[in-house]
């Protein structure tokens, strides 16, 4: 049964704990007024976390996202800078794109898509480097009501093919090549390969590939399919009326890894997502007009969607788009860019901080960083040492550090320290490593494994009990998987997959995933995906993959591999398998450690006991626990003796 979300007194009726009662309530309809609606919604949330799960926000409202991110700023602020683009190579010129220019480019791109036959509701796959055209393309899709699926440019041809097939996309936007850390990435070639893979299966739905020229490299060309973006955009008008969209029309699909099976298409819809991205961007970062805001994520991840593109542009911010990496041409690159563009707000991932921390203070101190006002962290738990270094060295002890917890599924930040009402101050004491408090309107609970609510200071599983506008609505074309993944562990709650501790002050500390999802340098991967990449090599009989603590990446990939009879385990074979997994998924999935496993610890019913494999990978041999239920306890002895992580 659906129950309308209440914004006020209703919460008192459900017998909440005192802590919950003290959390601020919110009028989401009032929050929704921060964006421009063609038709204002009269209802806020309408949802049920019980099966059949259904989530709707602002359902009778109508709007257009590109209008909100671009057009509505034009009358008063056309000449303010929307995007600052900083190239991979500092010797190349950076770009400043005003809202007026952004409007022209988005309208043109929208007309190019229309001319290629893209219609409202069609899925458009984007496989692009961090160039301004990536932002134009995303906004162009929203302008005509097409649903974008951005695939991170580090993913392989195989991964792209799976994602194109899953959403049945008929158009792809890519670039000739990408540039990262001085290296070229053959994007167009990967797309060609992906389309060949799909054709071989009789599943190639793609009729057009729009190619943006980035490096000018010589690339293969299929004239019936491939079109140059610069040629097409010169032929179309720079006026394209924004398509009126219903609040619950799909906005984008973003594939993310789960604990089982193939990556799933997380579906976000139009009205709720935009309201939530804009609301949280303001609450957490306290953005003030004229400030330069820089989030170092890639548009291929949710952080890039919500906090490089949609949140900042809906809030008329100046948002920096960085093509490069923190260590090229040297490890001062971030700090040099901060000075060059006078960045005020800087938002990055713990893995980058840990890597840069290792280089010492000197590369940081070479630059002034005086413009900085606020620092943010996202993507994985930040260890207190990294948090303190970020605060003390990068922020010179004067900038608050906000640790923002959220997920692809949540659309925007749910737990973080926030700016005061006037956007000027943050809580005086910020604890290194704590995500702190839920945002107004977010109601987390900590449960034990039985589903009992734990009150006060406690550690357990993190769930959310009321919906919020930015919540994902479904797994694309697989609502059963959506219900199963998020709403079956604890009836009536959204289960995050994270462990969490709440301290006596009521601050939340995220302890990491409790499922088979890995977080490698802030990138999410399922153990099942990596395992299936391994076994797709004919020499591998069985693979079991777990995470282990890694100094820089947070987690590393540890793989136990059983070879087929007659295959000789050699160091060369390890290198080949490592290469194979990279090729199947992408470089982010490169296994760190491979251990030959003559046998894997299994229960008598044949289930692999990952708990034991995790302990061996973590080198915690003394706490292996009970192995007596194993079909063959002796395999553990071999794995312990030959472990590679001693």
Give contact residues for ligand WT7 (rule: CB under 6 A): 256, 302-303, 378-381, 403-408, 435, 496-498, 510, 512-513, 519, 524
- Cα distance between residue 473 and residue 147, in whole Å: 14
- CA-angle at 136, arms to 135 and 140, nearest 5°: 120
What is the DSSP code (8-state) at residue 328? S
Residue labelled with tokens 């995933």: 513
Please, which residue, 404 or 485, has the CB nearer to ligand WT7?
A: 404
Task: Find the helix or strand (DSSP H, E) in which 84 lies.
Answer: strand 81-86
Please, which residue, 344 or 404, has the CB nearer to ligand WT7?
A: 404
Cα–Cα distances (Å) from 251 to 321, 361, 373, 622, in that order, read: 21, 43, 32, 50
Least distance to ligand WT7, CB of residue 377, Å: 6
Least distance to ligand WT7, CB of residue 571, Å: 33
CA 26 from chain center: how many Å? 26
- Cα distance between residue 217 and residue 220, in whole Å: 10
- Cα distance between residue 85 and residue 558, in whole Å: 37
Please, which residue, 381 or 470, has the CB nearer to ligand WT7?
A: 381
Both tokens assigned to 85: 């683009």
Least distance to ligand WT7, CB of residue 156, Å: 18
Least distance to ligand WT7, CB of residue 379, Å: 4
Which residues, in sequence order, are CB contacts of 93 under 8 Å at separation 6+? 87
Please, which residue, 112 or 278, has the CB nearer to ligand WT7?
A: 278
Both tokens assigned to 623: 């706490």
Least distance to ligand WT7, CB of residue 416, Å: 8
Please, which residue, 182 or 587, has the CB nearer to ligand WT7?
A: 587
Least distance to ligand WT7, CB of residue 441, Å: 18
Please, which residue, 390 or 406, has the CB nearer to ligand WT7?
A: 406
Neighbour count for residue 172 (Cβ, 10 Å): 26
**Contact yes or no for 331/94 (Cβ under 8 A):** no
Neighbour count for residue 344 (Cβ, 10 Å): 20
| Residue 358 burial class via C-beta count within 10 angstroms: exposed 0-12, middle 13-18, buried 19 and up | exposed
Neighbour count for residue 72 (Cβ, 10 Å): 16
Least distance to ligand WT7, CB of residue 309, Å: 14
- Cα distance between residue 426 and residue 420, in whole Å: 6
Strand order in the sheet with 54-57: 3-4, 45-48, 54-57
3-state secondary structure 345-377: EEEECHHHHHHHHCCCCHHHHCCCCCCCCEEEE
- Cα distance between residue 256 and residue 258, in whole Å: 7
Please, which residue, 406 or 560, has the CB nearer to ligand WT7?
A: 406
Neighbour count for residue 349 (Cβ, 10 Å): 24
Closest CA to 127 of 224, 183, 195: 195
Least distance to ligand WT7, CB of residue 410, Å: 7
**Contact yes or no for 112/96 (Cβ under 8 A):** no
Please, which residue, 259 or 590, has the CB nearer to ligand WT7?
A: 259
Please, which residue, 133 or 380, has the CB nearer to ligand WT7?
A: 380
Least distance to ligand WT7, CB of residue 546, Å: 16
Please, which residue, 59 or 588, has the CB nearer to ligand WT7?
A: 588
Closest CA to 242 of 383, 479, 74: 74
Sign of CA dihedral 507, 511, 515, 520: positive
Please count the helices (runs of H) and the strands (runs of E) in the chain. Answer: 21, 32
Least distance to ligand WT7, CB of residue 347, Å: 10
Least distance to ligand WT7, CB of residue 111, Å: 33
Least distance to ligand WT7, CB of residue 398, Å: 22
- CA-angle at 570, arms to 566 and 571, nearest 5°: 160
Least distance to ligand WT7, CB of residue 355, Å: 17
Least distance to ligand WT7, CB of residue 368, Å: 28
- Cα distance between residue 417 and residue 439, in whole Å: 8
Please, which residue, 284 or 540, has the CB nearer to ligand WT7?
A: 284
Please, which residue, 20 or 408, has the CB nearer to ligand WT7?
A: 408
Q: Indicate the pairing of strand 318-322 with strand 292-295.
A: parallel
Please, which residue, 114 or 481, has the CB nearer to ligand WT7?
A: 481
- Cα distance between residue 5 and residue 10, in whole Å: 9
Neighbour count for residue 549 (Cβ, 10 Å): 13
Please, which residue, 382 or 543, has the CB nearer to ligand WT7?
A: 382
Least distance to ligand WT7, CB of residue 151, Å: 14
- Cα distance between residue 67 and residue 552, in whole Å: 41
Please, which residue, 45 or 470, has the CB nearer to ligand WT7?
A: 470
Please, which residue, 240 or 413, has the CB nearer to ligand WT7?
A: 413
Both tokens assigned to 441: 């309107």
Least distance to ligand WT7, CB of residue 375, Å: 13
Phi-psi category of residue 360: left, alpha or beta, with phi > 0 → left and psi -120 to 50 → alpha: left
Neighbour count for residue 152 (Cβ, 10 Å): 21
């Amino acid at each position: 049964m659906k129950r309308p979300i209440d914004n006020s007194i209703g919460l008192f009726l459900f017998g909440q704990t005192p802590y919950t009662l003290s959390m601020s309530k919110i009028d989401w309809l009032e929050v929704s007024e921060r964006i421009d609606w063609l038709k204002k919604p009269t209802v806020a949330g309408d949802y049920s976390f019980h099966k059949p799960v259904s989530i709707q926000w602002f359902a009778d409202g109508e709007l257009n996202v590109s209008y909100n991110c671009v057009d509505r700023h034009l009358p008063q602020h056309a000449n303010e800078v929307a995007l600052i683009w900083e190239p991979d190579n500092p010797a190349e010129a950076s770009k400043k794109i005003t809202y007026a220019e952004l409007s022209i480019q988005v309208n043109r791109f929208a007309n190019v898509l229309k001319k290629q036959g893209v219609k409202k509701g069609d899925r458009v796959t984007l496989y692009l480097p961090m160039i301004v055209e990536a932002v134009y393309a995303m906004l162009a899709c929203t302008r005509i009501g097409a649903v974008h699926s951005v695939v991170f440019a580090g993913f392989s041809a195989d991964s792209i093919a799976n994602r194109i097939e899953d959403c049945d996309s008929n158009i792809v936007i890519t670039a000739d090549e990408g540039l990262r850390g001085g290296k070229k990435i053959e994007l167009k070639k990967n797309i060609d390969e992906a389309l060949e893979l799909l054709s071989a299966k009789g599943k190639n739905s793609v009729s057009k590939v729009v190619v943006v020229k980035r490096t000018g490299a010589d690339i293969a060309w299929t004239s019936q399919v491939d079109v140059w973006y610069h040629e097409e955009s010169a032929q179309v008008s720079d006026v394209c009326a924004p398509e009126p969209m219903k609040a619950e029309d799909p906005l984008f699909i973003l594939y993310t890894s789960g604990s089982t099976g193939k990556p799933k298409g997380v579906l976000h819809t139009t009205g709720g997502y935009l309201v939530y991205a804009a609301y949280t961007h303001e609450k957490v970062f306290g953005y003030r007009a004229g400030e330069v805001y820089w989030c170092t994520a890639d548009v291929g991840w949710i952080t890039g969607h919500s906090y490089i593109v949609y949140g900042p542009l809906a809030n008329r911010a100046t948002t920096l788009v960085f093509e490069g990496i923190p260590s090229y041409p040297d490890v001062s690159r971030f700090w040099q860019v901060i000075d060059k563009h006078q960045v005020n707000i800087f938002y990055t991932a713990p893995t980058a901080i840990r890597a840069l921390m290792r280089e010492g203070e000197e590369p940081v101190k070479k630059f002034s960083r005086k413009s900085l006002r606020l620092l943010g962290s996202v993507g994985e738990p930040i260890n207190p040492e990294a948090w303190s270094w970020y605060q003390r060295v990068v922020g010179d002890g004067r900038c608050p550090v906000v640790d923002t917890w959220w997920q692809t599924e949540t659309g925007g930040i749910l737990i973080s320290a926030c700016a005061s009402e006037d956007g000027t101050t943050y809580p005086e004491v910020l604890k290194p490593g704590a995500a702190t408090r839920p945002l107004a309107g977010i109601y987390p609970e900590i449960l034990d494994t039985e589903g009992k609510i734990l009150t006060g200071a406690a550690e357990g599983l993190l769930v959310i009990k009321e919906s919020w506008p930015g919540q994902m609505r479904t797994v694309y074309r697989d609502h059963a998987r959506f219900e199963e993944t998020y709403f079956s562990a604890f009836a009536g709650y959204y289960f995050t997959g994270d462990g969490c501790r709440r301290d006596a002050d009521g601050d939340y500390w995220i302890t990491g995933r409790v499922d088979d999802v890995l977080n490698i340098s802030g990138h999410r991967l399922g153990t099942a995906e990596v395992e299936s990449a391994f076994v797709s090599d004919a020499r591998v009989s069985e693979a079991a993959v777990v995470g282990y603590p890694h100094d820089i990446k947070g987690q590393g990939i540890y793989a136990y591999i059983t070879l087929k009879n007659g295959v000789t385990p050699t160091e060369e074979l390890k290198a080949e398998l490592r290469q194979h997994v990279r090729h199947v998924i992408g470089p982010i999935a490169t296994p760190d450690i491979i251990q030959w496993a003559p046998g894997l610890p299994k229960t008598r019913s044949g289930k692999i006991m990952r708990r034991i494999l995790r302990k061996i990978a973590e080198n915690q041999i003394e706490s292996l626990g009970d192995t007596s239920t194993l079909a063959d306890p002796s395999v553990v002895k071999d794995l312990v003796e030959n472990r590679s992580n001693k």
